[in-house]
Structure 1
Amino acid sequence: MLHGIATEIATATAALLLSAVLTALVRVPALRLGVLDRRRQRPLPLLGGLAVVLVTCLVTAAGEWIGFAPLVDGIGTLLVAGAAVAALGLVADVRRVKARFLVGGTAVAAACVVPYAETGVPGGLLAVGWIVFVAVGFRALDHADAVAGTVGVVTAFGVGVLAAAEVMDGLAALLSVLAAALTGFLMHNWHPARVGLGSCGSLFTGFVLAAAAVTMRTGHEPAAGAGVLFALTALAGMDVVLVLLSRRLAGRPLLRGGSDHLAHRLRRLGLTPQGATILLGVGASSGVLVAVLAHLGRIADSGVLWVAGGALVVVLALLRVRVYGPRSPQRMQSPQVRGQLRVRNG
């Protein structure tokens, strides 16, 4: 028992140190190759996510090689599918890729890891949609320094605890390695960030966490299982819902980037970048804690309704934070806009 714990600690420590070193090394190639996130106030070199993916895959494979954490129960398939999603995200980091290709590719990968024998086809299709939603949600969380990484670490710990409770040691080991790799990356991503996670790392993180959660909850009562899955990743879902509602109500394109995410709105309320990250980390921890307690039977399954209610209140409150400036005169005078106004005015 003690030997296993010591081995797990040593593995996680190795993943953390390797990730910290590799993240520092990929910064220079990202700058030279122009792999940058130009949406922020300063161009931020990406490829930090590539470091997280490589360390997670290599350390987990090493655990299989030494016999510490065999890749059983579909964990090998999950890791390969996650690597494929990461490769798709890396392409998106290097060059512009339409959102539908990212969503479609992630859906194909998700379809390869869902245990249809236990979920059934309808449940499996719902699981595929949920995995895609979470992966896209984590990509959306990568809008400010350290947010996606912090939420990823918290969620990985939560899902890992539940996997250990279900005696899925290999899955728990994978999640501990992912949490350690993200922690090493955060050493360079805390504000002011020196390197970013990018689509490669954010899609990989969201995909692995969601797929692992589905695998862990398979066999439980569907409604209760859905509640636990929601609570585990409530913060990522909140960000997606908040942005879509905000842009819809403002008449803006749904898929166009903008400073209207959770951290952006908290900054508008006066929080510092570090304060916004910590607050979002606490929010993610609250949802994960409720999910863990509900799964372990320490609280009623209906406890997740408090998470849903809290998420709804936060979304409605943050919708009132003004993030969009006035429309530009050029756009208001364009023929298309004038035509739309004439139609609306009858």
Structure 2
Amino acid sequence: MNGTIALAAGAACLLSVATAVPLRRLALRWDLVDRPGGHRAHARPTPYLGGIAIAAGTVVPTTIALGFADLQITAILLAATAVCVLGLIDDIAPLPAATRLTVETVVAIGVVLSGVQATVTGTWLDGALTVVWVVVMTNSFNLLDNMDGALGTVTSVTAALLAATALVQGHIALAVLLAALTCACLGFLPHNWAPARMFMGDSGSLFLGFTLACSAAVLVMGRSPDQTIAGLFLPTFMATVDTCAVFLSRMLTDRSPLQGGTDHLSHRLRRAGLGTRAVAATLGVVTAVTGALCLAMVLGLLSPIVAVLVAGVIAIVLVSLLRGSSVHSPVQPSRTSQKIRERRR
């Protein structure tokens, strides 16, 4: 089975690399580009559609390797593909937020009905809580796609450590999926590394967030509540802390939490003096630390409480160090805020 994982991972990387360039040319031909202007950091129109390369690199090798034998993995792949299509439509013709949330909720329910439920209360509420968590995390990862290389780096590290965790727990099919996801992201990352020649768009960021959220939920099924909470929080640490920090900051300054802005952790790191590549690397390192805490917990080296406390300290230190960074400095805004301004024109 280790050979299957290696073959799926290698095929994922090759497929992602092979499809990225043609998709970039297609995006330029169809004018699916993010244009420079205002506070945008890139100097030329940058095409979307990179998310299609990531999705294809993940779904195709995983399906070939596993077939449709595992109901839960099949449900995740089908639902994640639907979310990717949703993101692609949103990239081409922006959709209302209510439409996006409705579709995400419906496909998340489909995954839960396949048997994927995070064990929090041990009652029927776990299904509803899993749906809410998957939808929230899907959009949190979408918001994390706000700087060249940031989301690709975070996802590559997260998926790799989740794959290791899946192997330790004996979830071979999930390990195949996560290994393919890791290498599909790595295959695309050179195109998205600063200065980016291609963006993944909502098709990629929603696909990544949904797949990672569902995978984390699979790994905590049947676990105790403390292990479940730690197993959900630690792999999604960066997206969770970033979203919480942004929402808290905007609520304290009477700004809409749903409005785009440049107050994400990546923007604050940029204003603190780090270059764009250094920001992506920093986010990757922090993600590696919290992912390693999750793996250590699964191996029995740390208790869930200790692992979460350590991650909590990291979150407090990170947010505190960056609290003084002005949110009004002219740095690269999030992709989401860029698209909001485009929709209003």
Q: Are 1:24 and 2:21 an aligned pair?
A: yes
Give unpaired runs (5+ residues) of structure 1. Answer: 327-346
Q: 1:101 aligns with which of 99, 106, 115?
A: 99
- Are 1:229 and 1:291, in contact at CA under 8 Å, matched by a contact in 2? no
Distance across 2 between alignment mates of 1:50 and 1:32: 16
Specify the code of the residue in structure 1 equivalent to 2:93.
Answer: R
Shift of 1:73: 4.3
Percent identity reads: 37
Which residue among 314, 317, 341 is the counterpart of 2:318? 314
Q: Distance in 2 between matches of 1:94 and 1:117?
A: 33
**Alpha carbons 2:15, 2:56 under 8 Å: kept:** no
Match of 1:58 in 2: 60
Aligned to 1:211: 214
Distance in 2 of aligned mates of 1:281 and 1:194 = 20
Whichever residue aligns with residue 20 of structure 1, its letter is V
**How many Å apart are 1:64 and its aligned residue?**
2.9
- Post-superposition offset of 1:261: 1.4
Deviation for aligned residue 1:215:
1.1
- 1:38: Cα distance to partner? 4.1
The residue type paired with residue 141 of structure 1 is: L
Distance 2:116 2:162 in 1: 20
Deviating more after overlay: 172-181 vs 51-60: 51-60
Q: How many residues align structurally?
A: 319
1:312/1:110 CA distance change after superposition, 3 Å: farther
Question: Hey, what's the Cα distance between the residues in 2 that align with 1:103 and 1:222?
Answer: 27
Aligned 1:192-207 pairs, distance under 5 A:
192-207=195-210
Name the amino acid aligned to 2:234. A
Q: 2:130 aligns with which of 127, 144, 152?
A: 127
- Is the 1:246–1:319 contact (alpha carbons within 8 Å) kept by the matching residues of 2? no
Residues 117/49 of structure 1: CA separation in 2 closer, same or farther (3 Å cut)? closer
Q: How far off is 1:118 after superposition?
A: 7.8
Matched, 1:44 2:46: yes
- What do you get for the CA RMSD once the two structures are aligned? 1.9
Counterpart for residue 333 of structure 1: none
Pairwise mapping of residues 186-265 of structure 1 onto structure 2 (< 5 A)? 186-265=189-268
CA 1:118–1:233 in 2, change beyond 3 Å: closer, same or farther? closer
Instruction: Give the partner amino acid of 1:37.
Output: D
Over 3 Å counting, the alpha-carbon distance change for 1:117 and 1:312 in structure 2 is: closer
Structure 2 CA distance for aligned equivalents of residues 316 and 26 of structure 1: 41
Q: Which amino acid aligns with 2:52?
A: L
Residues 242 and 319, structure 1, Cα contact 8 Å, conserved in 2? no
Match of 2:87 among 78, 86, 89: 89
Note closer, same or farther for the CA distance 1:199–1:71 as it changes in structure 2 (3 Å cut).
farther
SS at match of 2:209: helix
Give the C-alpha shift of residue 253 in structure 1: 2.6
* Shift in Å, 1:282: 0.3
Distance 1:279 1:111 in 2: 34
Name the CA distance, whole Å, in 1 between partners of 2:117 and 2:141: 28
Match of 2:162, as an amino acid? V
How much does 1:325 deviate?
6.1
Amino acid at match of 2:88: L
Q: TM-score, normalised on structure 2? A: 0.87
**CA radius of gyration, larger in:** 1
> Following TM superposition, where does structure 1 have runs of at least 4 consecutive aligned residues deviating by more than 6 angstroms?
none
